[in-house]
Amino acid sequence: MSFTSLRIVCGVKSTRSKEKVERLIFEILSILQENKYDGPMGARTIARELEKRGFEIGERAVRYHLKHLDERGLTEKPESLKGRIITEKGEGEVRKDLVGKRIGFVIGKIEELIYKMSYNLQEGGGTIAANISLLEEGKVDEALNIMKEVMEKGYAPSPLVKVSQEGESMGRFKVPKDKVGIATVCSITIDGILEGEGIPVSPKFGGVLEFRGGKPKRFTDAITYQGSSLDPLDVFASKKMASCLNVTKTGSGSILANLREVPISARPAALDIINQAEEKMLNGVLEVGHPAEPLFGLPVDVNRVGIAVVGGINPAVAVDESGIQIETSPMETLLDISEIHHIKDFV
């Protein structure tokens, strides 16, 4: 069942209205998908979330659309519970039919996290961006030891983590039944720190960075963030294109990394801020380039300077490489810095 048929059901005649309804349906399913671990969502809650995304349609209209989504098996109402959940078929439709509607989704999500971050470099307090990984309780100690090694080698933005049990909250995320959650610092935190100090940052590429002899050499593959419907690092991780364990143990292989850009005039201040952040265990910067010069093989715009930053999901990627089943959501939430602790406290 495609969204074309959903548009017909809604009986919308104009192309513009069709596109608006299509987008609305997509947002409803996206909200349910993003909050699937929190249980069923009611029309009132969905309407509030839609309002944040520019749709002020009210509960009644939400119920109308949910009814049609139920009929097509894209959502369902669990017995004895209020609200709706997205079905597997619904998640498939989001991925398959509306990728085009998500163009720019990733860069928008990054900008939103940066805007909402409240971390203050001087005071050392506030919220930072975090990735969330889920795994079975019996594998947590082994996974943390692997993550610790990756972090100690400098292949993650920070050695700070949060470990939460079933039912506990990690920002807006709640750990589902029979799982343990591990939050790691997202590389977007560096962007947020720079932005907070008045330096505009442009995320440019996410890619696979080759290492030889313990030193970064070149990006062997990369995807631009602008116009991307998926997180580039998540794409490369799912295709198992990195070899974080090899880099950790031998110094050679590939890790996931990002390329950011800042204005030329901001380079000295950016270097100073990066050094200050490192003192607070928030860094992951591999190199700050020179004006308009390519960095590790990736182009840098005129009047800009490239900054290469390690990917925040590298520790989770290494865990996956070891054979431990782990499910990771990059750029998942904001966490107060006071909630996270050095990984040595856990292993």
The domain spans of the chain are 3-101, 103-347
Q: How confident is the model at residue 3 (pLDDT cuts 50, 70, 90)?
A: very low
Residue 190 in tokens:
């560096």
Longest dimension (CA), the chain: 62
Residue 74 in tokens:
């894209």
Distance between CA atoms of 315 and 342, rounded to whole angstroms? 14
Asked if residue 52 has pLDDT above 80, the reply is: no
Cβ contacts of 243-247, under 8 Å, gap ≥ 24: 243/321, 244/150, 244/155, 244/314, 244/315, 244/317, 244/318, 244/321, 245/146, 245/318, 245/321, 245/322, 247/153, 247/155, 247/211
Asked if residue 8 has pLDDT above 70, the reply is: no
Q: pLDDT higher for 47 or 148? A: 148
pLDDT of residue 5: 42
Could you tell me which of 132, 143, 178 has the C-alpha nearest to residue 339? 132
Asked if residue 195 has pLDDT above 90, the reply is: yes
Asked if residue 11 has pLDDT above 80, the reply is: no
pLDDT of residue 100: 53
Q: For 262-299, what is each residue's pLDDT tens digit?
A: 999 999 999 999 999 999 999 999 999 999 899 999 99
What is the average pLDDT across 301-305? 94
Q: Dihedral of CA 295/299/305/308: which sign?
A: negative
Q: Among 100-104, 185-189, 248-252, which stretch is predicted with the lowest mean pLDDT?
A: 100-104
| Summary mean pLDDT of the chain | 89
pLDDT of residue 99: 52
What is the average pLDDT across 248-259? 97
Asked if residue 226 has pLDDT above 90, the reply is: no
Could you tell me which of 308, 224, 292, 210 has the C-alpha nearest to residue 259? 308
Q: pLDDT higher for 55 or 133? A: 133
State whether CATH 3.40.50.11900 applies to domain 3-101. Answer: no
Asked if residue 6 has pLDDT above 70, the reply is: no
SS3 307: strand
Q: How confident is the model at residue 240 (pLDDT cuts 50, 70, 90)?
A: very high
Asked if residue 135 has pLDDT above 90, the reply is: yes
Other C-beta atoms closer than 10 Å to the C-beta of 96 total 10
Overall pTM surpassing 0.95 (yes/no): no
What's the number of CA atoms in the CB half-sphere (13 Å) around residue 103? Answer: 4
Q: Among 88-102, 153-167, 209-223, which stretch is predicted with the lowest mean pLDDT?
A: 88-102
Q: What is the CATH superfamily name and number for domain 103-347?
A: mj0159-like (3.30.70.1360)
Surface-to-core class of residue 263, CB atoms within 10 Å of its CB (0-12 exposed, 13-18 middle, 19+ buried): middle
